[in-house]
Amino acid sequence: MSIPATEGAPQAVRPRQAGYRGTKVRRQRVRAAWTFLTPMLFALALVAGWPLLRTFYFSFTDASLSDTTSALFIGFENYLVYDDGAWYGLLTDPIWWRSVWNTLFFSVVSVSLEVVFGIIVALLLNAEFKGRMLVRAAVLIPWAIPTIVSAKMWAWMLNDQFGIINHLLMALGIIDSPIPWTASATYSMWAVIMVDVWKTIPFVALLVLAALQMLPKDCYEAAEVDGIHPVKVFFRVTLPLITPALLVAVIFRLLDALRVFDVIYVLTSNSTSTMTMSIYARQQLVEFQDVGYGSAASTLLFLIIALVTVLYLYLGRRQLGVDQ
């Protein structure tokens, strides 16, 4: 009777020892992770955190570009102030609100088009055909070209005097006279969106194509045997499975679109019809040399992007059922 009791005693201790070892290993991994992350976080705080804090500070001062050391604290006057029976400040500037609308419109339309065309391109590249690898490499060319270079290239092509776009449209009889694509208030925003979509479709297509390559083949084989239409298979099977990849592509593109500057500035400069929040902030900081006012615009730009990002991530988690 005593022998089974002696043999069973170590077995009762083993689960505790295993749990302790698991906790110890987990703690060691956490310490190792923080050891490697600390230098990166410190560098990030210097590179991004300090300029961001300085921008917040300058937004509450009357600093100018010629002299930032003698800036005086003026509170929220750069944002909103009531003086002599009228409201002044950034929140009352119609050009600022026009730039906010332009930014949101550009972001929603461009990202939506990029997602739609990116999925179409990814589906085409996922099909088996001769020369597929060459086509895949060629599709990445617009994404590989620097934005400034591609924007300048399109600026020449869209020129109303010697641009090839107008020349081709007139040769085909689609238009009767040249269209000032980048100078017209009617067409300039759509011209900018077209250029941005052309450049960034490969990015979305690449992420979607990677997701398509990971999909199980048995689902499609079963659907083919059952005679289900390919369109129905796409919306019922393919689209739900590639949704996580689409969410990643959209959040990256949405962040880029909300802070867009280079492509619009090269094509239309400071035109109010296409002015975004970034261009507005740059105009106040550099051309008007009002560091305080420009910093206030930059601060609101940061807050709007942060709000949109948090809201999108929250809705994305709800869509994927992460909270459940």
What are the 10-residue block averages of pLDDT along the chain, 324 residues in total?
A: 48 53 80 91 87 93 89 92 90 95 96 96 89 88 93 94 92 91 92 96 94 85 80 88 91 93 93 94 94 95 91 76 50
| One domain, residues 127 and 262 | yes
Strands 86-88 and 81-83: antiparallel
Distance of CA 289 to the CA centre of its chain: 29
Indicate which CATH number applies to the domain containing 275. Answer: 1.10.3720.10
The pLDDT value recorded for residue 1 is: 45
CB of 221 closer than 8 Å to CB of 237: no
| One domain, residues 258 and 174 | yes
∠ CA 22-27-32, rounded to 5°: 125
Question: What is the span of the domain harbouring residue 26?
Answer: 1-47
In a domain, residue 258? The reply is yes
Distance of CA 79 to the CA centre of its chain: 26
In a domain, residue 94? The reply is yes
The pLDDT value recorded for residue 170 is: 93
In a domain, residue 64? The reply is no
| One domain, residues 141 and 224 | yes
The pLDDT value recorded for residue 263 is: 95
Helix (H, G, I), strand (E, B) or coil at 82: strand
Joined tokens for residue 188: 């300039």
| One domain, residues 33 and 157 | no
The pLDDT value recorded for residue 285 is: 93
| One domain, residues 24 and 121 | no
The pLDDT value recorded for residue 286 is: 92
Separation CA 234–CA 241 (nearest Å): 10
How many structural domains does the chain have? 2
| One domain, residues 39 and 95 | no
The pLDDT value recorded for residue 84 is: 85
The pLDDT value recorded for residue 21 is: 58
The pLDDT value recorded for residue 265 is: 95
| One domain, residues 29 and 121 | no
